[in-house]
Amino acid sequence: MRSDEGYVATPDGVRLFYRKIGNGPEVVIPNGLCCVDDFTCLADQITLIPYDLRNRGLSDQSRDGSQLCGDIHSDVDDLDAVRRYFGIVNMNLIGHSYIGLLVVLYAMKFPGHATRIVQIGPMEPEPGRKYPAHLSCGDGVMQEVFSELASLRAEAASADAVDFCRKAWSILGRLYVVNPADSTKITWGRCELPNERNFLHYWQANILPSIQKLRIVEDLVHVKASVLTIHGDRDRNAPYGGGRQWAMRLPHARLVTVPNAAHAPWIEAPDTVFGAIRTFMGGAWPESSKIITALDAGSPPGDSDSH
């Protein structure tokens, strides 16, 4: 299986590290290198192009004086630099978590170049919106994890940075799956990389504030791309209600609900998730996808089947 890697230079000189693997039509995965090994099962059908965003992974840092600079809008523009580098006219995208928001922002800004988009556990379209209890997972695990992380922070000053990061991720892994036994499959930390160890500060100072300022819900009707939203109904990090809202608001969208799955549904239901992606990237809607007509799954008129 053919694989190569290198750097894409953005207009402001920041280099973005990418890896390209597989055969078939290209699918770009912003910030996908943290979990690319999980997705290589798709590489017999599509060419995966995961890359690290600026200030992430093996990509360059961008600085304004002594501070990291960049935000969600910089990431959108960088994604178009990646598209141009590879000479892709009609781009297919996969985005997980807040990158699921980013790929739709791209489709809004560059409507002529976004064709098919997969969102997996996407951040809600109205950042910070509270959904009913049955559309968000409040099982207490997040509180337990944050409590353990608070205790761990007492060791931060004297701990080796890489070792501390790995301990933190060993705790965080429980957030992303329903079955605690699956938490060891969360290997996203990349703790050997300074950019990843320092991401929390960049997230809080740059990325999250730029996301919180977004007001995009009314404009989603103009998105031309076909969007498949895949969401676990026990997602603690990005509420399931947000996934339903995306599919309800986007004009060419359908939802695959993954029962009893959290923020990394491909780990808990790989056949469901990867099967849906294969079908969608092949040009059809998965049988498990639904058109969403109501935010609340239990309220009339409810969901209508995709067929």
pLDDT at res. 156: 78
Residue 184 located in a structural domain: no
pLDDT at res. 298: 60
pLDDT at res. 304: 44
Residue 142 located in a structural domain: no
Residue 172 located in a structural domain: no
Residue 170 located in a structural domain: no
Residue 92 located in a structural domain: yes
pLDDT at res. 306: 41
CA angle 128, 131, 133 (to 5 degrees): 130
Q: What's the rounded Cα separation, in Å, for the pair 307 and 305?
A: 5
pLDDT at res. 135: 96
> The pTM is what?
0.95
Residues pairing with 290 in the sheet: 255, 305
Residue that the structure tokens 């006219």 belong to: 89
pLDDT at res. 159: 85
Per-residue pLDDT of the chain (307 residues; tens, 9 = 90+): 556 999 999 999 999 999 999 989 999 999 999 999 999 999 999 999 999 999 999 999 999 988 899 999 999 999 999 999 999 999 999 999 999 999 999 999 999 999 999 999 999 999 999 999 999 999 999 999 999 999 998 887 778 999 999 999 999 999 999 999 999 999 999 999 999 999 999 999 999 999 999 999 999 999 999 999 999 999 999 999 999 999 999 999 999 999 999 999 999 999 999 999 999 999 999 999 999 999 987 643 334 444 3
Neighbours of 115 (CB within 10 A): 17
- Containing H/E element for 228? strand 226-232
pLDDT at res. 3: 67
Residue 194 located in a structural domain: yes
pLDDT at res. 302: 38
Helices (H), 9-140: 36-39, 72-85, 98-109
Q: Write out the residue range of the structural domain in which residue 44 sits.
A: 3-135+189-305
pLDDT at res. 265: 98
Three-class DSSP category at 100: helix
Residue 153 located in a structural domain: no
143-162 burial code (b ≥16 CB/10 A, e <16): eebeebeeeeeeeeeeeeee
Residue 171 located in a structural domain: no
| Environment class of 114 (CB within 10 Å of its CB; exposed 0-12, middle 13-18, buried 19+) | buried
One-letter amino acid at 238 equals: A
82, 93 contact by CB (below 8 A): no
Total structural domains in the chain?
Answer: 1
Q: Phi and psi for 58 in degrees, rounded to 5?
A: -95, 5
Q: What is the CA radius of gyration of the chain?
A: 19
pLDDT at res. 299: 46
Q: What's the rounded Cα separation, in Å, for the pair 240 and 248?
A: 12
CATH number at residue 215: 3.40.50.1820
Residue 267 CB-half CA count within 13 A: 26
